[in-house]
Amino acid sequence: MYGRRVPSSTTPDPTQLKALTHPLRLRLLALLRSDGPATATSLATRLGINTGATSYHLRQLAEHGFIAEDEQRGNGRDRWWRAAAAWTSVQESPEADEAERDTHDAFWQAALTQQVRVLQDAIAARSALSPQWRQLTTSSDVAVWATPEQAQEVSRRVHELFEHLATLPLVGDERPPGTRPLGVQVHSYVVPDHDHPAPEDVEPDGEQDLR
Protein backbone atom coordinates (compact mmCIF):
# COMPACT_ATOMS: atom_id res chain seq x y z
CA MET A 1 0.00 0.00 0.00
CA TYR A 2 1.30 3.43 -0.90
CA GLY A 3 0.67 6.16 1.61
CA ARG A 4 -2.54 6.64 3.56
CA ARG A 5 -5.60 5.66 1.56
CA VAL A 6 -8.97 7.33 1.85
CA PRO A 7 -12.40 5.68 1.43
CA SER A 8 -13.10 5.00 -2.24
CA SER A 9 -16.28 7.06 -2.50
CA THR A 10 -18.69 9.31 -0.67
CA THR A 11 -22.41 9.72 -1.42
CA PRO A 12 -23.59 13.21 -0.44
CA ASP A 13 -27.10 14.07 0.69
CA PRO A 14 -28.92 16.98 -1.04
CA THR A 15 -27.54 19.57 1.39
CA GLN A 16 -23.97 18.35 0.94
CA LEU A 17 -24.40 18.15 -2.82
CA LYS A 18 -25.49 21.78 -2.99
CA ALA A 19 -22.06 22.74 -1.64
CA LEU A 20 -20.49 21.09 -4.69
CA THR A 21 -22.43 23.13 -7.24
CA HIS A 22 -19.76 25.86 -6.98
CA PRO A 23 -17.17 25.34 -9.76
CA LEU A 24 -14.22 26.50 -7.64
CA ARG A 25 -15.01 23.99 -4.91
CA LEU A 26 -15.01 21.20 -7.46
CA ARG A 27 -11.60 22.33 -8.71
CA LEU A 28 -10.20 22.47 -5.18
CA LEU A 29 -11.57 19.03 -4.37
CA ALA A 30 -10.17 17.62 -7.61
CA LEU A 31 -6.69 18.97 -6.82
CA LEU A 32 -6.71 17.52 -3.31
CA ARG A 33 -7.71 14.16 -4.75
CA SER A 34 -5.17 14.17 -7.55
CA ASP A 35 -2.18 15.89 -5.94
CA GLY A 36 -2.64 15.01 -2.28
CA PRO A 37 -2.81 17.24 0.82
CA ALA A 38 -2.21 20.96 0.37
CA THR A 39 -2.62 24.32 2.08
CA ALA A 40 -4.94 27.13 1.07
CA THR A 41 -1.90 29.18 0.05
CA SER A 42 -0.50 26.53 -2.30
CA LEU A 43 -3.92 25.87 -3.83
CA ALA A 44 -4.53 29.58 -4.33
CA THR A 45 -1.19 29.90 -6.12
CA ARG A 46 -1.99 26.90 -8.29
CA LEU A 47 -5.35 28.34 -9.36
CA GLY A 48 -4.33 32.00 -9.52
CA ILE A 49 -6.87 33.20 -6.95
CA ASN A 50 -6.56 34.93 -3.57
CA THR A 51 -5.95 32.93 -0.42
CA GLY A 52 -8.98 34.33 1.38
CA ALA A 53 -11.42 32.96 -1.19
CA THR A 54 -9.59 29.65 -1.25
CA SER A 55 -9.74 29.32 2.54
CA TYR A 56 -13.46 30.08 2.57
CA HIS A 57 -14.30 27.44 -0.01
CA LEU A 58 -12.05 24.88 1.69
CA ARG A 59 -13.93 25.46 4.95
CA GLN A 60 -17.22 24.91 3.12
CA LEU A 61 -15.92 21.64 1.68
CA ALA A 62 -14.80 20.56 5.15
CA GLU A 63 -18.12 21.55 6.74
CA HIS A 64 -19.94 19.23 4.34
CA GLY A 65 -17.52 16.33 4.78
CA PHE A 66 -15.71 16.34 1.43
CA ILE A 67 -12.30 17.21 2.87
CA ALA A 68 -10.68 17.11 6.31
CA GLU A 69 -7.77 18.80 8.02
CA ASP A 70 -4.56 16.80 7.76
CA GLU A 71 -3.39 17.17 11.34
CA GLN A 72 -0.20 15.18 10.71
CA ARG A 73 1.06 17.94 8.42
CA GLY A 74 -0.18 21.05 10.18
CA ASN A 75 2.35 23.19 12.03
CA GLY A 76 0.09 25.67 13.79
CA ARG A 77 0.55 28.30 11.10
CA ASP A 78 -0.57 26.58 7.91
CA ARG A 79 -3.59 24.29 7.82
CA TRP A 80 -3.21 21.32 5.50
CA TRP A 81 -6.26 19.79 3.88
CA ARG A 82 -6.82 16.32 2.41
CA ALA A 83 -9.65 14.72 0.46
CA ALA A 84 -12.01 12.58 2.54
CA ALA A 85 -12.78 10.18 -0.34
CA ALA A 86 -11.36 9.25 -3.73
CA TRP A 87 -14.48 10.22 -5.66
CA THR A 88 -18.07 11.41 -5.25
CA SER A 89 -20.93 9.06 -6.10
CA VAL A 90 -24.15 10.93 -6.91
CA GLN A 91 -27.55 9.46 -7.63
CA GLU A 92 -30.85 11.31 -7.56
CA SER A 93 -33.61 9.69 -5.51
CA PRO A 94 -36.84 8.82 -7.38
CA GLU A 95 -38.66 10.72 -4.61
CA ALA A 96 -36.57 13.89 -5.05
CA ASP A 97 -38.57 17.12 -4.98
CA GLU A 98 -38.10 19.97 -7.45
CA ALA A 99 -35.46 21.70 -5.30
CA GLU A 100 -33.40 18.51 -5.03
CA ARG A 101 -33.69 17.90 -8.78
CA ASP A 102 -32.49 21.44 -9.45
CA THR A 103 -29.52 20.85 -7.13
CA HIS A 104 -28.60 17.68 -9.00
CA ASP A 105 -28.84 19.48 -12.34
CA ALA A 106 -26.61 22.29 -11.06
CA PHE A 107 -24.08 19.75 -9.81
CA TRP A 108 -23.98 17.89 -13.13
CA GLN A 109 -23.38 21.13 -15.01
CA ALA A 110 -20.55 22.16 -12.68
CA ALA A 111 -19.03 18.67 -12.64
CA LEU A 112 -19.09 18.39 -16.42
CA THR A 113 -17.39 21.77 -16.78
CA GLN A 114 -14.63 20.59 -14.44
CA GLN A 115 -14.25 17.23 -16.21
CA VAL A 116 -14.04 18.84 -19.64
CA ARG A 117 -11.35 21.23 -18.37
CA VAL A 118 -9.30 18.31 -17.03
CA LEU A 119 -9.67 16.36 -20.28
CA GLN A 120 -8.74 19.36 -22.42
CA ASP A 121 -5.59 19.89 -20.34
CA ALA A 122 -4.70 16.21 -20.80
CA ILE A 123 -5.16 16.39 -24.58
CA ALA A 124 -3.05 19.56 -24.76
CA ALA A 125 -0.20 17.76 -22.94
CA ARG A 126 -0.54 14.51 -24.89
CA SER A 127 2.11 15.36 -27.50
CA ALA A 128 4.82 15.27 -24.82
CA LEU A 129 4.04 11.65 -23.93
CA SER A 130 5.87 8.62 -25.25
CA PRO A 131 4.03 6.55 -27.91
CA GLN A 132 3.33 3.89 -25.29
CA TRP A 133 1.37 6.37 -23.19
CA ARG A 134 -0.13 8.42 -26.04
CA GLN A 135 -2.02 5.41 -27.36
CA LEU A 136 -3.77 5.01 -24.01
CA THR A 137 -5.79 8.17 -24.53
CA THR A 138 -9.13 6.84 -25.75
CA SER A 139 -12.64 8.12 -26.38
CA SER A 140 -15.77 6.14 -27.18
CA ASP A 141 -19.47 6.86 -27.20
CA VAL A 142 -22.64 5.03 -28.16
CA ALA A 143 -26.38 5.59 -27.90
CA VAL A 144 -28.74 2.61 -27.50
CA TRP A 145 -32.37 1.92 -26.75
CA ALA A 146 -32.55 0.74 -23.13
CA THR A 147 -35.11 0.10 -20.41
CA PRO A 148 -34.62 1.67 -16.96
CA GLU A 149 -33.50 -1.74 -15.70
CA GLN A 150 -30.85 -2.04 -18.41
CA ALA A 151 -29.62 1.49 -17.71
CA GLN A 152 -29.32 0.59 -14.02
CA GLU A 153 -27.27 -2.46 -14.97
CA VAL A 154 -24.89 -0.21 -16.92
CA SER A 155 -24.50 1.99 -13.85
CA ARG A 156 -23.86 -1.05 -11.66
CA ARG A 157 -21.10 -2.32 -13.95
CA VAL A 158 -19.48 1.10 -14.13
CA HIS A 159 -19.53 1.29 -10.33
CA GLU A 160 -17.81 -2.11 -10.17
CA LEU A 161 -15.11 -0.81 -12.52
CA PHE A 162 -14.46 2.18 -10.29
CA GLU A 163 -14.34 -0.02 -7.20
CA HIS A 164 -11.67 -2.07 -8.99
CA LEU A 165 -9.72 1.07 -9.91
CA ALA A 166 -9.81 2.11 -6.26
CA THR A 167 -7.79 -1.00 -5.35
CA LEU A 168 -4.86 0.47 -7.30
CA PRO A 169 -2.58 3.10 -5.72
CA LEU A 170 -4.55 6.35 -5.86
CA VAL A 171 -3.08 9.51 -7.32
CA GLY A 172 -2.19 11.47 -4.21
CA ASP A 173 -0.67 8.38 -2.56
CA GLU A 174 3.04 7.66 -2.87
CA ARG A 175 3.86 7.12 -6.56
CA PRO A 176 4.86 3.54 -7.47
CA PRO A 177 7.77 3.14 -9.94
CA GLY A 178 6.84 3.08 -13.63
CA THR A 179 3.42 4.68 -13.21
CA ARG A 180 1.71 7.80 -14.52
CA PRO A 181 -1.58 9.26 -13.29
CA LEU A 182 -4.44 7.73 -15.29
CA GLY A 183 -7.78 9.54 -15.40
CA VAL A 184 -11.04 7.78 -16.25
CA GLN A 185 -14.29 9.62 -16.95
CA VAL A 186 -17.60 7.86 -17.59
CA HIS A 187 -20.92 9.53 -18.39
CA SER A 188 -24.31 7.94 -18.90
CA TYR A 189 -27.38 10.01 -19.67
CA VAL A 190 -30.77 9.93 -21.35
CA VAL A 191 -30.36 11.34 -24.85
CA PRO A 192 -32.92 14.07 -25.63
CA ASP A 193 -35.26 12.40 -28.11
CA HIS A 194 -37.50 15.04 -29.63
CA ASP A 195 -38.68 12.83 -32.50
CA HIS A 196 -39.75 9.87 -30.36
CA PRO A 197 -41.26 11.00 -27.02
CA ALA A 198 -40.96 8.27 -24.40
CA PRO A 199 -44.21 6.33 -23.74
CA GLU A 200 -43.76 6.56 -19.96
CA ASP A 201 -46.90 4.59 -19.17
CA VAL A 202 -46.33 1.78 -21.65
CA GLU A 203 -44.72 -1.43 -20.41
CA PRO A 204 -41.94 -2.92 -22.59
CA ASP A 205 -42.91 -6.00 -24.62
CA GLY A 206 -40.51 -8.22 -22.71
CA GLU A 207 -37.34 -8.46 -20.72
CA GLN A 208 -34.10 -7.85 -22.60
CA ASP A 209 -30.77 -9.13 -21.41
CA LEU A 210 -27.86 -6.66 -21.37
CA ARG A 211 -25.25 -8.99 -22.81
pLDDT category of residue 162 using cuts at 50, 70 and 90:
confident
Q: Output the pLDDT for position 133.
A: 95
β-bridge partners, 9: 87
Q: Output the pLDDT for position 201.
A: 44
Closest to 188 measured CA to CA, from 122, 139, 141, 149: 141
Provide the percentage of residues in the chain whose pLDDT is more than 70: 86
CATH for 9-126+142-165?
1.10.10.10
d(CA 54, CA 40): 6
What would the pLDDT profile of 15-47 be if each residue is shown by its tens digit? 999 999 999 999 999 999 888 899 999 999 999
Closest to 90 measured CA to CA, from 30, 22, 14: 14
Closest to 155 measured CA to CA, from 87, 76, 90: 90
pLDDT, averaged across the chain: 87
For residue 159, what are the CA distances in angstroms to 8, 103, 190? 11, 22, 18
Helix axes 51-63 and 40-47, enclosed angle (nearest 10): 120
How much is the pTM?
Answer: 0.77
**Predicted confidence (pLDDT) at residue 211 exceeds the cutoff of 60:** no
Q: Output the pLDDT for position 209.
A: 44
What would the pLDDT profile of 181-200 be if each residue is shown by its tens digit? 898 888 889 998 766 666 65
**Predicted confidence (pLDDT) at residue 210 exceeds the cutoff of 60:** no
Query: What is the bridge-based pairing of β-strands 9-10 and 87-88?
Result: parallel
What would the pLDDT profile of 56-103 be if each residue is shown by its tens digit? 999 999 999 999 999 888 666 789 999 999 888 888 888 999 999 999
